[in-house]
Amino acid sequence: MARILSLADAVGEVVHDGDTVALEGFTHLIPFAAGHEIIRQGRRDLTLVRMTPDLIYDQLIGAGCARKLVFSWGGNPGVGSLHRFRDAVQNGWPVPLEIEEHSHAGMANRYVAGASGLPFAVLRGYTGTDLPAHNPNIKQITCPFTGETLTAVPALNPDTTIVHAQQADPAGNVQVWGITGVHKEAVLAAKRSLVTVEEIVDELRPRPGAMVLPGWAVTVVAEAPRGAHPSYAQGYYDRDNDYYQAWDAIGRDRDAFRDWLTETVFNNTATAGGGTR
Amino acid sequence: MARILSLADAVGEVVHDGDTVALEGFTHLIPFAAGHEIIRQGRRDLTLVRMTPDLIYDQLIGAGCARKLVFSWGGNPGVGSLHRFRDAVQNGWPVPLEIEEHSHAGMANRYVAGASGLPFAVLRGYTGTDLPAHNPNIKQITCPFTGETLTAVPALNPDTTIVHAQQADPAGNVQVWGITGVHKEAVLAAKRSLVTVEEIVDELRPRPGAMVLPGWAVTVVAEAPRGAHPSYAQGYYDRDNDYYQAWDAIGRDRDAFRDWLTETVFNNTATAGGGTR
Amino acid sequence: MSQTASARPAAGYTTDEMMSVAAARALRDGTSCFVGIGLPSTAANLARRTHAPNLVLIYESGCLGAKPDRLPLSIGDGVLADTADAVIGVPEVFNYWLQPGRIDVGFLSAAQLDRFGNINTTVIGDDYADPTVRLPGAGGAPEIAASCREVFVVVRQSRRSFVERVDFVTSVGHGRGPGDRERLGLPGAGPVLVITDLGVLRPDPHTRELVLTDVHPGVEVDAVRAATGWDLTVADDLGRTPEPTERELTALRALTAASA
Amino acid sequence: MSQTASARPAAGYTTDEMMSVAAARALRDGTSCFVGIGLPSTAANLARRTHAPNLVLIYESGCLGAKPDRLPLSIGDGVLADTADAVIGVPEVFNYWLQPGRIDVGFLSAAQLDRFGNINTTVIGDDYADPTVRLPGAGGAPEIAASCREVFVVVRQSRRSFVERVDFVTSVGHGRGPGDRERLGLPGAGPVLVITDLGVLRPDPHTRELVLTDVHPGVEVDAVRAATGWDLTVADDLGRTPEPTERELTALRALTAASA
């Protein structure tokens, strides 16, 4: 049964300096509130894992929390580049950032292997691309039945996975609906997990398209209303597209970013996603 | 888009002598009506694949349709043995039956590999058991990252998979709810697929826990009300436990079985599951 | 029924009832249990209705956290899906839930069980290709026995079922003795408890051989030896299973009556 | 609007509009299309609103058969889940739907595209570790390019984007020429169509080099050559793209307006 804690206590318990941490959410249900709490708690040397590092990781990287990024697509969707990410990769600011780069299929399968207790996953992927030349975590494997050559990637087993969901019940059972991405795999692959939720309800009402994560498979749950803002939570609020647009100018400039950090993250201990609007 | 045919036309189109055919349904939604239609059409030399060959395969085997069975658990659940299956294995009646035996984990992963377009699947399975000594389709594989030894099983790609579901819409989109077993994997792994359904509805109404198979991933759909009887179709009818009990005496005796075949299968061209009650 | 009355030993009960009650007692509240059908399912459901209301029942049909109000007649009974916290596909059960060792107890039955807790549900007889009796086969058992943190076996004891060496290893217990599970890389502890209609056996920590540690009320050790196909070792501190309480028997009978 | 009026060439339109219309026309009704975000998504949604109402749109976020009533702003826009035939997890999209070659068309964009249709969305510059420009990376593209039956690319044409050889092969087109896809074991046919704001390119069946086969209205071949970073071959039977019809433009503008 998952324990229910405050966001600050939950992040304090599951994220430590030097950890490998996955914050997942495929466009939908990105755990921004938890990300901002990691910044507030001043975590350092994290290996950040995420298929689509977008604003949330731009913020964590800019705040100096990360030493390495494992990912498959990094950008501000529909807007452009992640300037804090670029600044860290190209100029080592505020600290150097190592990268390990995959495809979505590779990352998704790494989580699947992690969730499955297997050391690796097999896929048809990366073949003929320049990715394997720059990533020792992409190897070949031979089918013992057909002799065919396929690709292998190692399991991802983060120290901690954090995702956001719509609801949990008092026993920590979590219900997610809409696009569920790699929520389940990322949580099950991790040694510890934190699920932030829009609300804790007395009882989960089954819904079409919903996925339930049993409370006994989750470490801690924290209520964080609007905790996915500026991304969205289906059934609760829409994506704040203006925030993504506005981020381009903030992220582009180190001073503007520092001001944003002070105003929006450090001077804001609320559990919300930290809106700039 | 799946084509919608009568049960007889559908079975005629997708099942041919010598084919490898999987009729799946994990206790729930077992496609009995389609199985009886295969018997009526007199198919021979089938390789029958199924995790849990129960009454439906006892009937097909007794009727002489099969030359080989690939499976992981064969019995009359809660009642006892499958006597037609035993008679075929031990006495070659009415024709000899070759067997290939797996565990559930192995079979499930063989379907997953088949659905995924991979030649094999990796699992932690069979280790230390006597199964690999009798089955060349269980091999070892080494993790290219950790050097650990794991088990590999080849993909299952049946010529045809047949499953039963609650509903389809006129475009052949299929909705299944309750226990969905390996429905999706078995259909996606197959070259051709037939889904029999309780009813064709104008529009599928989304339901909690439901899984939708898009019509463009299914070959043919046939309406077969009570087509899973004596198993059950959640939301439509319960399991006919008396039928399972009664089967023990029928299956135990060749003559009783032949009488049952004549009365219940050959003299009954209805699309229903062929009840003995 | 008052607490006192319900904890009182019951007057009359069958050996199967004693077995189910003893098996149920072994399950701790708040743990997760991968439930095989038949005797294990009866015991697990009884536990949930007595001392372990928060026992998480997992069935290979894809039902996580099933809370059936009657005994399911099969591992895919509709009542399991209706009452589960989550219903998932069969591949996910084995890959995401069983294989990584997330589940505390695997609760199995057996057609044959040997001195080292290895299980046979495949064939009786020396020749796999021409068996004396063809059994149902492996089902989920090999991986349940490999991956759950612990395995409990519930099985009726006789010389036919309790053999020196199983004819076919469907599911590995302790192999041929100490270190075998480790050599095979099996993550779980294997069978730590075997509950029969006569008593309870546990593996000796050093030899890994199953040793009689408890007998049920009214059962003599000689009767257990007579029902065991190997030279049975009896624990020095042999215990005696407390009789079923009225509460336990009432719950068990309500459960089985509702399924008839 | 009458059929005649709607089929009439429109009076004024942008080169981007021409590109989207030409890209949309390439999609056949009743086929399935794995849709990248941006230009491909615009084209695919336009096709569904004009000649291909039964086009099955598949987004990597897990939306199968999405029928959005406005342009999705990302591949995970809520409107995709709301209108999909089925919403599935991301691993399933790649493993069960893309990888086995079930999907007819993979519709991609590119930051750099080379003579053989190879795509770069990773880094500009010779040194991966110290790039001139760090691009977003691979996303789903490498496997979309490998596994879909055919690949269409829609990209604005310039000497920066159309290069002799991409700085980094993120997604394989036709490698370095004939037989390369086969040698790599890539199941799909690769890029069979490249639609730009200037015209349409297709791989030569023998050399696999991209050849200009159509120019859009008002575009001169010299302008296309000037926007191509290799010595562009022009097809003998060079075609000219029909202008957007009023129906197409109206649908396109309604789609983009609804997303603003």
Q: Does B232 touch chain C (CB under 8 A)?
A: yes
Task: Report how far residue A131's alpha carbon sits from residue A102's, in angstroms, rounded to the nearest whole number.
Answer: 7
Cβ separation C136–B125 shorter than 8 A: no
Task: Report how far residue B15's alpha carbon sits from residue A62's, in angstroms, rounded to the nearest whole number.
Answer: 61
pLDDT at D87: 96
Hey, is D161 helix, strand or coil? coil
Closest-CA residue to C44 (of A268, A34, C56): C56
| Range list of H helices, C119-227 | 141-147, 180-184, 221-226
Structure confidence by residue, pLDDT tens digits, A204-229: 999 999 999 999 999 999 999 999 99
Task: Report how far residue D5's alpha carbon sits from residue C153's, in angstroms, rounded to the nearest whole number.
Answer: 78
Closest-CA residue to A214 (of A184, A182, A189, A190): A184
Q: Does B130 touch chain C (CB under 8 A)?
A: yes
Fill in the amino acid letter for B90.
Q
pLDDT at B1: 85
Contacts of D95 in chain A (CB under 8 A): 105, 108-109, 112, 123
Cβ separation B179–C140 shorter than 8 A: no
pLDDT at B110: 98
pLDDT at D260: 58
Going from the C-alpha of C216 to that of each of A9, C192, D24, D38, the distances in angstroms are 49, 18, 77, 72
Contacts of A140 in chain B (CB under 8 A): 144
Between residues B267 and A41, the one the model is more confident about: A41
Hey, is B138 helix, strand or coil? coil
pLDDT at D10: 63
Which helix (H) or strand (E) segment holds residue C247: the answer is: helix C246-257
Six token digits for residue C59: 């069935």
Q: Does B147 touch chain A (CB under 8 A)?
A: no
Going from the C-alpha of A141 to that of each of A112, B112, B120, C65, D103, the distances in angstroms are 17, 18, 11, 37, 25
Closest alpha carbon within chain D to A127 = D184
Spatial contact of D195 and D168, defined as CB atoms under 8 Å apart? no
- Active site residues per annotation of C: 60
Phi-psi region of A146 (alpha: psi -120 to 50; beta: other; left: phi over 0): alpha
pLDDT at D201: 98
Res C5 pLDDT > 80: no
pLDDT-above-90 percentage for chain A: 94
pLDDT at A164: 98
Res A270 pLDDT > 70: no
Res C67 pLDDT > 70: yes
Task: Report how far residue A207's alpha carbon sits from residue A209's, in angstroms, rounded to the nearest whole number.
Answer: 6
The mean of the pLDDT values for chain A is: 95
Model confidence at D6, pLDDT cuts 50, 70, 90, reads: low
| Smallest Cα distance from B194 to chain D, Å | 17
pLDDT at C219: 96
Model confidence at D76, pLDDT cuts 50, 70, 90, reads: confident
| Smallest Cα distance from C48 to chain B, Å | 21
Model confidence at C76, pLDDT cuts 50, 70, 90, reads: confident
Structure confidence by residue, pLDDT tens digits, C139-175: 999 999 999 999 999 999 999 999 999 999 999 999 9
- Picking from B112, B179, B238, the nearest residue to C62 by CB comes out as B179
Half-sphere exposure of A261 (CA within 13 A, CB side): 23
Closest-CA residue to B197 (of B111, B276, B115, B271): B271
Six token digits for residue C101: 């060792």
Looking at residue D31, the DSSP 8-state letter turns out to be: -
Contact exists between A and B (3 or more beta carbon pairs < 8 Å) = yes
Cβ separation B141–A137 shorter than 8 A: no
Topology of domain B3-82+157-238 in CATH is Glutaconate Coenzyme A-transferase (3.40.1080)
Structure confidence by residue, pLDDT tens digits, A109-141: 999 999 999 999 999 999 999 999 999 999 999
Task: Report how far residue B190's alpha carbon sits from residue B159's, in angstroms, rounded to the nearest whole number.
Answer: 6
Q: Which of B100, B109, B122, B151 to mutate to test the interface with A (most CBs of A within 10 A)?
A: B122
User: ipTM of this model?
Assistant: 0.96
Contacts of D77 in chain A (CB under 8 A): 27, 239
Between residues C76 and C253, the one the model is more confident about: C253
Six token digits for residue A186: 């990322």
Going from the C-alpha of D172 to that of each of B114, D118, D142, D151, D186, the distances in angstroms are 25, 5, 7, 11, 9
pLDDT at C4: 47
Structure confidence by residue, pLDDT tens digits, C186-232: 999 999 999 999 999 999 999 999 999 999 999 999 999 999 999 99
pLDDT at A2: 94
Mean pLDDT of A166-193: 98
Structure confidence by residue, pLDDT tens digits, A139-178: 999 999 999 999 999 999 999 999 999 999 999 999 999 9
Fill in the amino acid letter for D213.
T
Which helix (H) or strand (E) segment holds residue D82: the answer is: helix D78-83
Res D117 pLDDT > 50: yes
Phi, psi of B11 (to 5 degrees): -65, -40
Residue for token pair 């890994």: C208
Task: Report how far residue C157's alpha carbon sits from residue C178's, in angstroms, rounded to the nearest whole number.
Answer: 24
Res D103 pLDDT > 70: yes
Cβ separation C73–B78 shorter than 8 A: yes
Task: Report how far residue C192's alpha carbon sits from residue B173's, in angstroms, rounded to the nearest whole number.
Answer: 48
Going along chain C, which residue ranges are E strands? 32-35, 56-59, 63-64, 86-87, 105-108, 112-114, 119-120, 123-124, 133-134, 150-154, 162-163, 191-195, 199-203, 210-215, 233-240
Model confidence at C1, pLDDT cuts 50, 70, 90, reads: very low
Between residues C104 and C6, the one the model is more confident about: C104
Mean pLDDT of D173-187: 96
pLDDT-above-70 percentage for chain A: 97
| Smallest Cα distance from B56 to chain C, Å | 15
The mean of the pLDDT values for chain C is: 94
Task: Report how far residue A112's alpha carbon sits from residue B64's, in angstroms, rounded to the nearest whole number.
Answer: 41
| Smallest Cα distance from D89 to chain A, Å | 5
| Smallest Cα distance from D28 to chain B, Å | 14
Beta bridge partners of B175: B167, B212
Spatial contact of D171 and D142, defined as CB atoms under 8 Å apart? yes
pTM: 0.96
Q: Which of D58, D85, D88 to mutate to test the interface with B (most CBs of B within 10 A)?
A: D85
pLDDT at B274: 42
Mean pLDDT of D130-142: 94
| Range list of H helices, chain B | 7-14, 32-40, 55-62, 83-91, 104-115, 183-189, 241-252, 254-260
**Residue pairs spanning B and C at CB distance below 8 A:** 165
The mean of the pLDDT values for chain D is: 94
Closest-CA residue to C206 (of C114, C104, C105, C116): C116
- Picking from D30, D85, D95, the nearest residue to B173 by CB comes out as D85
| Smallest Cα distance from B23 to chain C, Å | 15
* Per-residue pLDDT of chain B in tens (277 residues, 90 and over written 9): 899 999 999 999 999 999 999 999 999 999 999 999 999 999 999 999 999 999 999 999 999 999 999 999 999 988 899 999 999 998 999 999 999 999 999 999 999 999 999 999 999 999 999 999 999 999 999 999 999 999 999 999 999 999 999 999 999 999 999 999 999 999 999 999 999 999 999 999 999 999 999 999 999 999 999 999 999 999 999 999 999 999 999 999 999 999 999 999 998 765 444 443 3
Contacts of D61 in chain A (CB under 8 A): 26-28, 179, 181
Closest alpha carbon within chain B to C64 = B179
Six token digits for residue A135: 């990533």
Q: Does B217 touch chain D (CB under 8 A)?
A: yes
Task: Report how far residue C21's alpha carbon sits from residue D192's, in angstroms, rounded to the nearest whole number.
Answer: 69
Domains defined for chain D, CATH in brackets? 15-255 (3.40.1080.10)
pLDDT at C197: 97
Hey, is B51 helix, strand or coil? coil
Task: Report how far residue A48's alpha carbon sits from residue A68's, in angstroms, rounded to the nearest whole number.
Answer: 6
Rg, chain C, Cα only:
18
Residues C18, C19, C24: CA angle, nearest 5 degrees: 100
pLDDT at B120: 98
- Picking from C75, C81, C169, the nearest residue to B130 by CB comes out as C169
Cβ separation A72–D138 shorter than 8 A: yes
Structure confidence by residue, pLDDT tens digits, C120-142: 999 999 999 989 999 999 999 99
